[in-house]
Amino acid sequence: MAREAREELGIDIDPADLTLVHVLHDLDADDGAGRLQLFFAPTKYSGQVENKEPAKCGELRWWPLDALPDPVVDYTVQALAGIAAGRALSVRGFPA
């Protein structure tokens, strides 16, 4: 996570300053593979957030959770809802 933040956002995060806030066990409908999506929150970081991969990302913006842009990756929407509700785990796509 710390490496990705540096590469993609230009910010420095000490791994000790990362907190795992959500795990999403996701069954990908496209390829049938099960994946764990891990979501971390930094308690602090240094640097200015910027788009370091403009060929992969059109822009970076802050959005309120109740007014996310369209489209947003489905599993991200579910994870954000779980985080907002205080849940540490979500499951998506698996039969009940």
- How far apart CA 28 and CA 34 sit, in angstroms, is 6
Amino acid 84: pLDDT: 95
pLDDT tens digit at each of 96 positions of the chain: 999 999 999 999 999 999 999 999 999 888 989 999 999 999 999 999 999 999 999 889 999 989 999 899 899 999 999 999 999 999 999 987
Domains of the chain (ranges; CATH) run: 2-92 (3.90.79.10)
- How far apart CA 51 and CA 53 sit, in angstroms, is 6
CB 37 within 8 A of CB 48: no
Predicted structure pTM score: 0.85
Amino acid 36: pLDDT: 96
Amino acid 30: pLDDT: 87
CB 17 within 8 A of CB 43: yes
